[in-house]
Amino acid sequence: MVTAIPATGRALVRLTLAVAALAIALPIQAGSKLLGTGGTSSIEGSAGGGIVPWATIAGYASSDEWSATAGYNRVLVDDFQLTTHSAAVSYDNHYELSLARQQFWIAPLQLSLEQQIIGVKVKVAGDLLYSDLPQLSVGAQFKHQQRFEVPQAVGALRQNGIDWYASVSKVYLDAIWGRNLLTNATVRLTKANQTGLLGFGSSDATQYQAVAELSAALLVRHDVAIGIEFKQKPNQLAFAREDHWKDLFVGWFINRNVSIVAGYVDLGSIAQLDDQTGFYFAIQGAY
């Protein structure tokens, strides 16, 4: 398993863990937003849950403040592993810029694909906590599959793609059993096959498709959220069926600098390999 992570990856993991340990021991003042209200780093680098970008803006920057986050995510299913290293900066709780590098390890082929994603997100209306109107953000993810040979061989049309999305997020205070409930709904326009890991479009599918992505998380404590996500996916490659993704997760915001997420994921069928279920883990550092 570990051999799938290159040496530089392992060094980064160690560095991340060391920084996390330091931040837990010596918390530093991040921005002013309430604990957890930036969400966490999703697998595509944008602030959100695990697999869904939310309307939340990364980190703890409130008005006129800056924030930076770094994330490390792992998805481990039967025949695949997805590793994401990401970083994001945000300003004013309105603007988010994120960078992500995804390594997609295909165990049966003993090879990994690599995708880079630049994400931008802008909060345009509402507020996560303080207004009746949910927080509305719009965003884009500029994706580039660096090793296009395999996606091309299975029918993908393009190496690059842009996903456009709009998300609404809202925390309902005192919603269920006296606990706060976060809900998020995202509509994404995409041409991506398996989120771009298998390239973009196909000879039969050259147009954008609209997909829905949903999350709900109950804050059982101020620092612990238990949630569920659903990510609708297009199905464009003739060689294999693509399924919607689902996950269950527990997130713990240890303090304003470190959060960790663990979960169970169901990615369905990927590249003719069915029932890809397994584990999800993520850690985020925030300043």
Partner 1 sequence: MRLIYVCVLVWLVTACTAAAKPSLYQQLGGEVAITKLVDGLLVKIEHDPRIVHHFKDTDIARFRSKLIEQLCHISDGPCQYTGSTMQESHTGFQITAADFDRLVQHLIDVMTELHIPLDAQNELLARLAPMYKDVTYR
Q: Which is nearer to partner 1, 62 or 160 (CB)?
A: 62
Nearest approach, Cβ of 41 to partner 1 (angstroms)? 21
Q: Which is nearer to partner 1, 64 or 204 (CB)?
A: 64
Residues contacting residue 148 through CB under 8 Å, at least 6 positions apart: 156, 159, 199
Identify the helix (H) or strand (E) that includes residue 283.
strand 277-286
Q: Which is nearer to partner 1, 57 or 211 (CB)?
A: 57
Contact positions toward partner 1, by CB under 8 A?
A: 31-35, 62-65, 93, 127, 129-132, 173-174, 177-180, 221-222
Tokens of 54: 């939310």
Nearest approach, Cβ of 250 to partner 1 (angstroms)? 17
Nearest approach, Cβ of 234 to partner 1 (angstroms)? 38
Dist CA 171 CA 169 (whole Å) = 7
Q: Which is nearer to partner 1, 128 or 156 (CB)?
A: 128
Answer left, alpha or beta for residue 278, where phi above 0 means left and psi between -120 and 50 means alpha. Answer: left
Question: In angstroms, how far is CA 118 from the centroid of its own chain?
Answer: 13
CA distances for 212 relative to 167, 215, 274, 278, angstroms = 10, 10, 22, 23
Residue 151, judged by CB atoms within 10 A of its CB (0-12, 13-18, 19+), counts as buried
Q: Which is nearer to partner 1, 101 or 179 (CB)?
A: 179
